[in-house]
Amino acid sequence: MSAPAYLDHNATSPLRPVAFDAMVEALRAGGNPSSVHDAGRKARAIVDKARREVASLVGALPTETIFTSGGTEANNLALSGAGRRRVLVSAIEHDSVRRGVPHAEILPVDSDGVLDLAALDATLAASSEPVLVSVMLANNETGVLQPIAEVVRLARAVGALVHCDAVQGAGKVPVDLQGLGVDYLSLSAHKLGGPTGVGALVVRNGAPFSPDRLGGGQESNRRAGTENVAGIAGFGAAAQAARVGLDVTGMRDQLELSLVQIAPGATVFGAKAPRIGNTTCISMPGVPAETQVMALDLAGVCISAGAACSSGKVQRSPVLTAMGVAAEEATWATRISLGWNTEPADIERLITAWQNLYIRVRQSDISHTHSRARAA
């Protein structure tokens, strides 16, 4: 059988060849970026180059960019590093934000999955102490884009700081730190074709920040620990490649049209809101997400059951719950996400496998109904 059609880029996008090459080169070079000798200087040059590449993807300065072990650490670091006790987060944030601040106040979203700005405004107005607001750029399950510029405008009016988890947005839509106006921005390499286990927190010059780990003076005293040089090199190369953006919206829209034609009762969640062009969160009526993921896997297509969580267990999606999707319908939702190497043939394969499964399930439903009728 040919290689699977990989349509789970929001989980991890395959490593881009340029990132692979940069990593191999860095591994060959070896060295510790803190060493003053030749090998150390070479490692430092690799990290510095990658820092420029990552910073430039999001319109930040290299000095504003701190490498981390991924998006999770970047989110945790922003939430603790900002030093604000009162924190407001949207109801659809990634676990690394929601669980990163268990005492955070939750801001609702509407039925399209867009942050309720009136609720943010009212909550900010009711606050007597300095606040940090954390709202993601694009949701990992639905792809729905959040109104960050409006969040910043409301937050600034009351002196609140703003963190934006841009892990799913960067490389898919243009991201500009200055334009967005946020104080902290989280990134993850493996969502844009870099390696897993590396990310960055961008801290706007002048924004308050205190590190969360003690040790050496790496990352300008903001994140102790010898840098993951090869991972950082891969991140830089992937970020550079991702600057051209991702042009898959046409394929995604065609895919949604085809699936809804096959199963007219299917719902595309968040379809009415602005979304990143690579993500579809769609239900196959009556078919549990786990069944869909397994059947498609057997047909050589990789997708995920909503927010496939780290344990591999499928739990009820807090994102769809926050959007008011009925509990049963939420269990039918899967996430299909396209990326830099997606070809029309991958989409065709998914459509065929999805249709075959849907027909199979319908036929077995019909034969069950008939045998029940005969038995009655």
- Contact between 8 and ligand PLP per CB under 6 A: no
281 is catalytic: no
Name the burial class of residue 291, with classes exposed (0-12), middle (13-18) and buried (19+) by CB atoms within 10 angstroms of its CB.
middle
Give the integer Cα–Cα distance in Å for 94 and 88.
14
Q: SS3 of 300, please? A: coil
Task: Give the max Cα distance, the chain.
Answer: 85
We find the least distance from the C-beta atom of residue 226 to ligand PLP, in angstroms, to be 19
3-state secondary structure 128-140: CCCEEEECCCECC
Q: SS3 of 333, please? A: strand
- Contact between 90 and ligand PLP per CB under 6 A: no
Contacts with ligand PLP in 49-78 (CB under 6 A)? 70-72, 75
Contact string 119-148 vs ligand PLP (x = CB under 6 A): -----------------x---x--------
We find the least distance from the C-beta atom of residue 166 to ligand PLP, in angstroms, to be 8
Which residue, judged by CB position, is nearest to ligand PLP in the bound state? 71
In DSSP terms, which residues pair with 283 in a beta bridge?
A: 333
Tokens 């008939």 appear where?
Answer: 370
Please tell me which residue in 164, 281, 302, 309 is annotated as part of the active site.
Answer: 309
Contact criterion met (CB below 8 Å) for 330 and 321: yes
- Contact between 318 and ligand PLP per CB under 6 A: no
Contact criterion met (CB below 8 Å) for 66 and 222: yes
13, 76, 96, 342: residue in contact with ligand PLP (rule CB under 6 A): 96
The contacts of residue 29 (CB under 8 Å, 6+ apart) are 39, 42, 43, 46, 229
Residue 206 CA to chain centroid, in angstroms?
26
Residue whose CB is less far from ligand PLP, 165 or 295: 165
- Contact between 199 and ligand PLP per CB under 6 A: yes
Residue whose CB is less far from ligand PLP, 93 or 346: 93
Question: What are 274's two structure tokens?
Answer: 């602005």
Contact string 151-190 vs ligand PLP (x = CB under 6 A): --------------x-xx-------------------x-x
We find the least distance from the C-beta atom of residue 34 to ligand PLP, in angstroms, to be 24
Q: What residues are labeled active site? A: 309
Binding site for ligand PLP (CB under 6 A): 70-72, 75, 94, 96, 136, 140, 165, 167-168, 188, 190, 199
